[in-house]
Structure 1
Amino acid sequence: MASLINSELFKDQYSTKEMRAVFSGRAQIQSWLDCWVALAKAEAKNGVIPESAAEEIAQKAHAEDIDMDYVREGFKKTSHPLMPQIRAFTKLCSPETGGYIHWGATTQDITDTGMILQLRNAQDILEKQLEHLLNQVLDKAEKYKALPEAGRTHAQHAVPITLGYKFAIWADELGRDLERLQHDRKTYFAGNFGGAAGTLASLFDKGIAVRNDFCKNLGLAIPTITWHVSRDRLANFSSDIAIAASTIGKMANEIINLQRTEIEEVEEGFQMGKVGSSTMPQKRNPMICENIYANVRLVKNNANLGLEAMVQEHERDMSFWQTEWMYLSEMCLVFSAAIKMMSQVMDQMIVHEDNIKRNLNMTHGLIVSERVMLDLGRYIGRQNAHEVIYEDAQKAFNDGIDFLDVLLADERVTKDVDEATLREMLDPARYVGSCVQMVDDVVKKWRK
């Protein structure tokens, strides 16, 4: 086992089949071949190389025809990341055409642009996964938009919310994550072609035209200047991925907390055969969500390398851009797995409505003390009402008395608020604010 991403046991926890295909060795080589084809066509169009050479390069550019053993051995001998591939490709072509492969280019032109092609394919997969997950969460938001639940701030009961409101917050954030990725892709999916030090000197007066056509041929944005040592695009990409992953990490962490034995409002899903512990038979651990959060940690840590790689020396610094081959692919692989696992959680989630109701009434009315305070404040002022209800709430908590009983015994309250009004105000279901409307607004905004 070289990596958990390719482990026979754990590969589906740390990656997905679709994403592994994007970052396979063959896919990387094919991305380089695609770049050479795009370059040859651009150069033929601008009179730099013969049209016949460009046609043959396109015909022979198939990764499955490359001698991988020859390339691997070449890496060992040359210590160069691309030269063995150039030689292997040249062997597939006629001597005349082989001499035009990589014309005017430098290694980083091909490896950078090839990596961009792979990242574009990866983001296509991630966007589809996120769209599916977003719709799953929207479904949950709609289903539970009116189910009252204890809202919690600082890990303590605060005021009532609805379970659908919680899901809608997640959905809105997922929507923004997806929107951010879709918006920024036109910035960071740009071709990179500049030759030796980025000046295009090797192509004389044809350099800019060839660069532009090279990018157009690949469907990539055209940069205004060579970006060999400007890695902000990739830092932007890694940041967008890390932000989206953090949303899913927050969802997983919240489900873990809501599945605590003493809360048990939501469960990631359970069926006979799922095992929580090798020694405690009763355990129903949120292990899928824990796996998700482990992946999210990997994504976030790798994103830091995107910022590190922005500081480069002079006109080329291979020590940094070769780290991108590793950390960017790993980010996409483990994030794809995290999304897939979260979709599984959404499909299999168990909502324990009885426990939600139990927890909502756990404080015997204290969860709506704000409402009582504000109503009383209409008669004695907000600050005075806060002092009165603060004293009553703390007495109810410390003495284990129903909040209603304490309020009814306090003349400062009953002088202005009758018992019927108090009983109505202490119903948590009547104090969920605009939760339902906000859920509807989120669904309307993001439902495709």
Structure 2
Amino acid sequence: MTTYDTYQTPLSSRYASKEMANLFSPATRFRTWRQLWVNLAIAEKELGLPIDDEAIEQMEANLDLTPEQFEIAAVEEKKRRHDVMAHVYTFGTVAPAAAGIIHLGATSCYVTDNADLIFLRTGLTYLVRSLGILISRLQAFAAQYRDLPTLGFTHFQPAQLTTVGKRATLWIQELLWDLRNIKRVRDDIGFRGVKGTTGTQASFLALFDGDHEKVVELDRLVTKLSGFDYVYPVTSQTYSRKIDIDVLAPLASLGATAHKIATDLRLLASLKEVEEPFESTQIGSSAMAYKRNPMRSERVCSLSRHLMVLHQNALMTSSVQWFERTLDDSANRRITLPEAFLTADIVISTLQNVSEGLVVYPKVIARRISQELPFMATENIIMAMVKNGGDRQEAHEKIRVLSHEAAHQVKQLGLENDLIERVKAEPYFDPIKGQLGELLDPKSFIGRAPEQVDEFLKNWVKPALSDKEIAEAVEKSQKFELNV
């Protein structure tokens, strides 16, 4: 049977980065289990249990599984119906000196849960770096178009002007919040440690002949060897599934942000103002050859919806963990946790790809402004007349009548907005006709948008991107692009 004969998740086979797909692979999972068994043995030996150096040396020399060992483990799991014990046996075949002490005093969750916490923390680190790169790309876009006026929309109806760059800062701000939330939850993740079958550490207390201090020290040592700063003070057989809720919450929130950004881009593509990159050989539609569908943005929306609903799984699973544990969390988490990270990874990388090739059409944007700006300029025209000695109410009535006539031309006859031509033809407005060009300059309608972009990028984005791990990720991505 080939890979074409069985279902494979498109998250790994089609979309996800190799880095994230590898993190949740069987190879990484079982290697991590073996490392955790090594850490346990080292700590137990240090605290006085009779474990030979040879046993630890053989374990450390065989952390990576060969294809043959995967096959042995599969046969054992089918026979024993227990994945952890199958791998304890398999590890012992290549580290025979350690066969009797592998997993000593531990329950299955020692490797499964501690490994999951390692994967969660590592996966969040990958996402932090990827988010930093995405934000850096959008920062450049916002700076480039900081003062390009564009029609704003409220209720998807024409509103006052903003700028293309200012609109991008709205996207970036939400991504900065996502970055903050993901870093917070990552840095808050602890270690389950060595807690035994129901979290009481009874098995380890027996191993150390009732010496409580050694059991506490064992927990500390294994936590340190595994790269964590602290261990959860109390657990049941598992770490609390509320941790999964905390981890998936900022990923779901990221999904909401990404969906909003991609939706904005899809609408802008329909307006022909901004488009995502489109390769010269890309096909937008099998039937309509002229189409340039926003396929990447649509993919972001599609996967973001999936990412948002995965959080519900974590909530439901946590809520039904009876007493010290039930096993109805296992199958759910095997799917939900990897999928959440793979999906978040794909969403970010796709948005990064889009952001690096956004195409802006200033003339289309200007044309749309010209269609709507005359109506928005009516207040400026009225005020200009008042400053020239006119009566506000009279000016308002004159412009109201002309506006309705122009609206009729646009809505009923499908013609261009000719309000300004009507103003120019009306003798009443002779005193200010020389000012109309200034009164209709789009840049006079964008307020502090350019300055807001500058201040936001300087005071908020730059400090976030100056963070060491993010700065290194951005620099590495830029070097990669230059090499490509």
- CA distance in 1 between partners of 2:375 and 2:330 (Å): 57
Counterpart in the other structure of 1:69: 71
**Offset, 1:126:** 1.8
Which 10-residue stretch deviates more, 48-57 or 147-156? 48-57
CA contact (8 A) 1:157 1:367 kept: no
Alignment correspondent of 1:303: 311
User: Equivalent of 1:363, from 355, 372, 378?
Assistant: 372
| Structure 1 equivalent of residue 276 of structure 2 | 268
Instruction: Name the amino acid aligned to 1:434.
Output: R
- Aligned residue identity for 2:264: E
Structure 1 residue 333: deviation in Å? Answer: 1.3
Match of 2:354 among 323, 345, 351: 345
In the alignment, structure 1 segments of 5+ residues that lack a partner are: none
- How far apart are the structure 2 equivalents of 1:163 and 1:289? 18
User: Is contact 1:160–1:367 with CA below 8 Å preserved after alignment?
Assistant: no
Over 3 Å counting, the alpha-carbon distance change for 1:364 and 1:179 in structure 2 is closer
* Displacement after TM superposition at 1:420 (Å): 5.2
Which residue among 324, 332, 340 is the counterpart of 1:331? 340
Q: Deviations over 1:86-138 (max 9, x none)?
A: 1111222235x322211221111210111122222222222221111111100
In 1, the alpha carbon distance for the partners of 2:150 and 2:386 equals 26
Q: How many Å apart are 1:391 and its aligned residue?
A: 7.9
Specify the alignment match of 2:104 in structure 1.
103
Equivalent position of 1:52 in the other structure:
53
CA contact (8 A) 1:130 1:339 kept: yes
Contact 1:364 1:402 in 2 (8 A): no
Corresponding position: 1:80 with 2:94: no
Tell me the TM-score normalised to structure 2 length: 0.81
Separation (CA, whole Å) in 2 of partners of 1:80 and 1:362: 69
Where do residues 199-218 of structure 1 align in structure 2 (5 Å cutoff)? 199-204=200-205, 205=212, 206-218=214-226
Displacement after TM superposition at 1:18 (Å) = 1.7
Q: 1:241 to 1:392 in 2, by over 3 A?
A: farther
Partner deviation per Cα, 1:201-236 (whole Å, 9 max, x = no partner): 112213322122211111123212115262122111
Instruction: Give the counterpart of 1:443 among 441, 457, 463.
Output: 457
Q: Give the structure 1 partner of residue 158 of structure 2.
A: 157
SS in structure 1 of the partner of residue 309 of structure 2: helix
Q: C-alpha displacement at 1:317, in angstroms?
A: 1.5
- More divergent stretch after superposition (33-42 vs 194-203): 33-42
CA-CA distance at 1:364 after TM superposition: 4.4
Q: Structure 1 counterpart of 2:265, which letter?
A: I
Q: What's the counterpart of residue 238 of structure 1?
A: 248
> Does structure 2 conserve the Cα–Cα contact (< 8 Å) formed by 1:373 and 1:386?
yes
Compared CA separation, residues 268 and 361, structure 1 to 2 (3 A): same
Supply the distance in 2 between the matched residues of 1:112 and 1:120 (Cα, whole angstroms): 12
CA separation in 2, counterparts of 1:107 and 1:307? 23
Alignment of 1:293-442 (within 5 A): 293-311=301-319, 312-368=321-377, 396-400=406-410, 402-404=418-420, 418-419=432-433, 424-442=438-456
How far, CA to CA, are the matches of 1:384 and 1:63 in structure 2?
A: 86
Task: Give the length in aligned residue pairs.
Answer: 440
Unaligned runs of 5+ in 2: 206-211, 411-416, 466-484
Distance 1:91 1:388, change over 3 A: farther
User: How far is the alpha carbon of 1:407 from its aligned partner?
Assistant: 6.9
The answer to whether structure 1 residue 289 and structure 2 residue 293 are counterparts is no
Instruction: Say which is worse superposed, 421-430 or 98-107, in terms of deviation.
Output: 421-430
Q: Which residue of 1 aligns with 2:481?
A: none
